[in-house]
C-alpha cells in the first residue's frame, strides 16, 4: 500500500484563513519524507482572503487553491454546518486522479506528525474516521434522563437501533477515493442531502455515516480530539473514558468542532490558546484579530491567561540545563503544547 500524500480542505470566505492555520500547523510538525500536496476547494469567487491562501509559504510542499462551483450553496446553514463543508462529499470527483486523500476540517490544529495517519491501512474500508464520542455520550445521557433528542435523530433520521451502531465524526477523514467513485458515493450522498435538507441534523456527516455504515475503519481517537466537548460539554462524563483520556492527554489533531470557535472569542481553555499562537505565527491578520478581541474584552481574559501562566511557571520551574548562562529555553511548538496542557 502506497502512503497517501494529499490533503484536502473545503472552505468558503468564512474559514479560508483558518484553513491556512490548519495547513501551517500540519507542516510545523511534519517529519522528513516526500512532499505533501494540499488541495483547498473554495466555493466562492476569488477574494482577498483566497489570495492570502495562495501566498502561504509551504515549499517544498504544494498548496493548490481550487475555485469550484458549490452545488450545495443554496442549502441553508444548519447547526453550524456550512454549504462549503458539504463539498467533502464530492472529493472523489473533485480529485479524479487520486486514489486516496486525507480530508481535514478548517478548524483542525495539528500537534503531531500526520505521516502515520497518511500511511494507515484501511483494510479494505472505504474510509477511516474517529468515533463521535459526543453523540454516543448524548445517547447515554438521554437513556438516563428519559428526554430523547439525539435518540430520535438516530432512530428516525438514520433508521438505526440506538443500542447497536457506531457513528463517526467527519472532521478528519482518510478516504479511499477510488472505492467511493466506483460506487457513485458522491452522487448518492449529494442527492440524499439535497432531497432531505431537514431530515439530517449534520447533513454530510449523516450521509457519510448512513451510506458507508460497516465500511468505515475506526482510527485512533487522538486523530480527532474535539476540544469543546472534552473541556466544557456537560455530557462529556457519559463518554468512553478510555478514549477521551487519550484525547485529553495526548491529542494529535485538535478539532474545534461545534459553534464555539477560538477565533470568535478569547476562551480560557489551554487548547484555544494553542490555536491563537499557531494562528499569529501563520499570518499577521490573526495578530490584528487577537488585538481587537483583547480590546473588546478590556484585557480581562488575557490577564487571566498571564496569571495562570505565572502560577504554572512557579509550580514547574525550568530544568537546570536551561538556567545555565547562555542556554535558551525551548520555545518549540511541542514544548509549548506540553506546558499549556
Q: How confident is the model at residue 307 (pLDDT cuts 50, 70, 90)?
A: low
Residue of higher predicted confidence among 52 and 176: 176
Residue of higher predicted confidence among 30 and 199: 30
Q: How confident is the model at residue 324 (pLDDT cuts 50, 70, 90)?
A: very low
DSSP 269: -
Phi then psi for residue 198, to 5 deg, are -105, 0
CA distance 188 to 317: 57
**C-alpha grid cell, residue 257:** 468542532
**C-alpha grid cell, residue 256:** 474545534
Res 134: pLDDT: 83
Handedness of CA 42, 46, 51, 52 (dihedral sign): negative
Q: Which of 5, 87, 9, 89 is nearest to 50 (CA)?
A: 9
Res 90: pLDDT: 95
**For the sheet containing 216-218, what is the strand order?**
62-67, 37-42, 6-11, 100-104, 168-176, 127-131, 216-218
**For the sheet containing 253-255, what is the strand order?**
108-110, 253-255, 225-226
Res. 22: pLDDT tops 80:
yes
Condensed to tens digits (0 to 9), the pLDDT of residues 8-20 reads: 999 999 899 999 9
Res. 226: pLDDT tops 70:
yes
Q: Please name the helix (run of DSSP H) or strand (run of DSSP E) that holds residue 10, with its range, or none.
A: strand 6-11
Res. 294: pLDDT tops 70:
yes
Residue of higher predicted confidence among 124 and 49: 124
Res. 303: pLDDT tops 70:
no
Partnered with residue 42 across adjacent β-strands are: 11, 67
Give the contacts of 226 (CB within 8 A, at least 6 positions apart).
133, 134, 169, 171, 247, 255, 257, 258
> Do residues 133 and 46 make contact, with C-beta atoms less than 8 angstroms apart?
no
Q: How confident is the model at residue 79 (pLDDT cuts 50, 70, 90)?
A: low
Identify the structural domains of the chain with CATH numbers, from first to last. 6-261 (3.90.550.10), 282-340 (no CATH)
Res 301: pLDDT: 61
Res 236: pLDDT: 75
Res. 158: pLDDT tops 90:
no
Res. 268: pLDDT tops 90:
no
Task: Find the mean pLDDT for residues 41-65.
Answer: 89
> Do residues 10 and 41 make contact, with C-beta atoms less than 8 angstroms apart?
yes
Res 327: pLDDT: 41
Amino acid at each position: 500500500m502506497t502512503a497517501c500524500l494529499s490533503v484536502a480542505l473545503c472552505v468558503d470566505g468564512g474559514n479560508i484563513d483558518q484553513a491556512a492555520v490548519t495547513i501551517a500547523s500540519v507542516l510545523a510538525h511534519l517529519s522528513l519524507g516526500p512532499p505533501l500536496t494540499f488541495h483547498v476547494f473554495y466555493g466562492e469567487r476569488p477574494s482577498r482572503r483566497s489570495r492570502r491562501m495562495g501566498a502561504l509559504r509551504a515549499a517544498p510542499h504544494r498548496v493548490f487553491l481550487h475555485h469550484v462551483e458549490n452545488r450545495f450553496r443554496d442549502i441553508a446553514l444548519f447547526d453550524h454546518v456550512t454549504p462549503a463543508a458539504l463539498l467533502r462529499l464530492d472529493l472523489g470527483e473533485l480529485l479524479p486522479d487520486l486514489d486516496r486523500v486525507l480530508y481535514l476540517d478548517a478548524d483542525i490544529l495539528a500537534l503531531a506528525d500526520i505521516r502515520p495517519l497518511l500511511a494507515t491501512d484501511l483494510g479494505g474500508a472505504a474510509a477511516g474516521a474517529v468515533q463521535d464520542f459526543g453523540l454516543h455520550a448524548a445517547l447515554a445521557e438521554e437513556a438516563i434522563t428519559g428526554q430523547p433528542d439525539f435518540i430520535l435523530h438516530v432512530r428516525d433520521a438514520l433508521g438505526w437501533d440506538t443500542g447497536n451502531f457506531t457513528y463517526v465524526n467527519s472532521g478528519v477523514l482518510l478516504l479511499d477515493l477510488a472505492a467511493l467513485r466506483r460506487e457513485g458515493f458522491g452522487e448518492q450522498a449529494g442527492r440524499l442531502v439535497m432531497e432531505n435538507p431537514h431530515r439530517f441534523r449534520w447533513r454530510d456527516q449523516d450521509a457519510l455515516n448512513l451510506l458507508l455504515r460497516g465500511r468505515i475503519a475506526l482510527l485512533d481517537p487522538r486523530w480527532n480530539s474535539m476540544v469543546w466537548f472534552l473541556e466544557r460539554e456537560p455530557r462529556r462524563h457519559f463518554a468512553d473514558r478510555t478514549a477521551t483520556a487519550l484525547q485529553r492527554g495526548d491529542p494529535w489533531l485538535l478539532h474545534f468542532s461545534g459553534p464555539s470557535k477560538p477565533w470568535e472569542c478569547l476562551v480560557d481553555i489551554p487548547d484555544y490558546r494553542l490555536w491563537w499562537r499557531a494562528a499569529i505565527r501563520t499570518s499577521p491578520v490573526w495578530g490584528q484579530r487577537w488585538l481587537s478581541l483583547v480590546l473588546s474584552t478590556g484585557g480581562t481574559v488575557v490577564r487571566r491567561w498571564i496569571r495562570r501562566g505565572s502560577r504554572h511557571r512557579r509550580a514547574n520551574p525550568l530544568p537546570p540545563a536551561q538556567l545555565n548562562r547562555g542556554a535558551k529555553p525551548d520555545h518549540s511548538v511541542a514544548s509549548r503544547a506540553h506546558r499549556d496542557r
